[in-house]
Amino acid sequence: MTALHPSLGVPSTPESTLDSVLTPEAMYRIPAHRVATEPRTGRPAPTGHAHSPSLVMLVLIATVGILAYAHFLLNPASRGDWLPYSLVIAAESILIFQALLSMWTILSGSSDPREFSVHQAQATLIHTRSLARDGLMDQPERWPLHLGDQPATIDVFITTYGEDLDVIRTTVTAARRMHGEHLTRVLDDGRSDEVRDLAAELGVRYLRRLSSNGAKAGNVNHALTVSTAEFFVIFDADFVPKPGFLLETLPFFIDDTVSFVQTPQAYSNLHNVISRGAGYMQAVFYRFIQPGRNRFNAAFCVGTNVIFRRDAINDIGGMYTDSKSEDVWTSLKLHERGWKTIYIPTVLATGHAPDTVEAYTKQQLRWATGGFEILLQSNPLSPRRRLTFDQRLQYLVTASFYLTGIAPLLLLLVPPLEIYFDLRPMNISTTVVTWLLYYAGFYLMQVVLAFYTMGSFRWETLMLATASFPIYVAALINVLVGKEQHWSATGNRSKAASPFNFMIPQVLFFVFLLLTSVVAVWRDVTIGTLTLATAWNVTNTVILGTFVGTALIESHGARRVRALSRKVVPS
């Protein structure tokens, strides 16, 4: 999922939203190259590109560790007091479900979407003799592209909504320089005259609309009514494409059942704790989960760094507009119509990860709200969905993913229950060594996998995963009560506020855990034994304290920048 924006309107019922993408009048204005009339069925045939034996072995060991931990927790002999035991079971059930499905998807990722026909199409994408004849060899942005014997027409949409001009300038300049003939358009929902002038300066088309209905998806749908190309690319304003984007993605469309080709979101600003944590939290998804979904024809669009076939979007009535997760919903509707989706783990554009508490909070709140909308308002397992069993499971995993962000809240409450009320989650006869053995089989193997696959274990991700529970609770409440979540541009510092404005629950919880740790240490000193509850609570306190410390550093840095700005600007 990716950044969405403004007024999405009043939520409607799932049945009505599924068919309310574009009005018939708007659809009439979208030029159609070919509109499919019958849904396609069937799973794409996998091709061979196996994981390394070491990775397969680690994933299998981790899976065994997960199952052993689940068996230990569910064994009646392990059950302790009901309240803390229920909290542990609820939290760990969510985490184990997600972990098992992730392992299964990773192991499935041996399917390489680059079939022979794709390589063949890539080899004939550019007609070099024609380039030499027409004197275009030194102008790659003007190279005509061909799919088979047919010329391909491409529009590049750069969606903007209040981003800094320098950010937009960098992206537009890079988009213009992409190899292959294309037409670049700036879709400005911020209605900024400065952006309009910038587009004119850079020699690209500029488009704004009268309203922001449908947010980013509505913006793209509006652009489709005034453009004609057979394929269109979407970049968020802060994602800078590489020159070879079209050359790598377009050949997949030689298969006329392919609806879109998605590439990863990668970040170039991993310069502080928040941006590194936010960036690496998504790394496993883009390196292993999305490739695994190719096997099930369940790769999702993430809203940017993606190229679409116009006919596929016409077939489903335009980009889906009635959800925070317009990208996932658009993918779902394409899958229901039998279209094929492709994900390639090749980084072809880099963007900005949120690097402040405010930006991270707003981004995660939007994404989580979209996920909970799917979970609570549109059941992927419903028989009304025309999906394969594999696709249903993948959508269920996506819809329920943000529950893993609420699980830490339940686990944070367990140690205080023992410290204050002597309530234990596990049977008092279970030794600490036994508990740690099963616990390590689950969590330690996740750390080992992170080391193997990512080259390191990023403590920043653990910190954010633990400290973000208020965001996900708020998102869940938003969906339950129908509260609208407004959009703001990632990385826009023009309205920067104190990070503590967005983390009051975390600060209060940190103070509570700190006091609890003091009480626990005093108790252990009195009885002369270090208890697991004390160690667990102190660890949680340190993790939340790190987040609070990160906010203090950010707040101090922001004050220093403002002070320097006042000195530079004459009074």
Could you write out the DSSP letters of every residue in 423-473? --SB-TTS-HHHHHHHHHHHHHHHHHHHHHHHSS--HHHHHHHHHTHHHHH
> What's the pLDDT score for residue 344?
94
- Which DSSP symbol is given to 324? T
| Pair of tokens at residue 450 | 């992170």
> What's the pLDDT score for residue 440?
76
Q: What DSSP string runs through 385-428? A: S---HHHHHHHHHHHHGGGGGTHHHHHHHHHHHHHHH---SB-T
State the Rg of the chain over Cα: 25
| Pair of tokens at residue 172 | 């537009």
pTM of the complete model? 0.83
> What's the pLDDT score for residue 512?
97
461 DSSP β-pair partners: none
> What's the pLDDT score for residue 311?
97
The H or E element that residue 495 is part of is none
- Residue indicated by tokens 């009646």: 76
- Residue indicated by tokens 């091709």: 47
Compute the distance between CA of residue 460 and CA of residue 150 in angstroms, rounded to an integer.
49
C-alpha dihedral sign at 375, 376, 378, 384: positive
- Which DSSP symbol is given to 346? -
Angle at 358 between CA 175 and CA 368, to 5 degrees: 80
β-strand pairing of 183-188 with 240-241: unpaired
Cα–Cα distances (Å) from 152 to 159, 246, 254, 291, 459, in that order, read 22, 11, 11, 26, 46
> What's the pLDDT score for residue 16?
32
| Pair of tokens at residue 327 | 């990208």
Angle at 360 between CA 405 and CA 186, to 5 degrees: 125
pLDDT mean for each 10 residues of the chain (571 residues):
32 32 40 42 44 77 85 86 94 89 79 87 91 87 92 96 94 97 96 96 94 89 95 97 97 96 93 89 85 92 96 95 86 95 95 92 90 86 90 91 94 95 83 76 74 73 92 93 64 65 93 97 91 93 95 87 68 48
| 209 and 26 Cβ atoms separated by less than 8 Å | no
| 524 and 534 Cβ atoms separated by less than 8 Å | yes
| 353 and 464 Cβ atoms separated by less than 8 Å | no
Cα–Cα distances (Å) from 394 to 360, 389, 472, 482, 507, in that order, read 25, 9, 20, 25, 35
> What's the pLDDT score for residue 428?
67
β-strand pairing of 145-147 with 150-152: antiparallel
> What's the pLDDT score for residue 40?
46
| 44 and 394 Cβ atoms separated by less than 8 Å | no
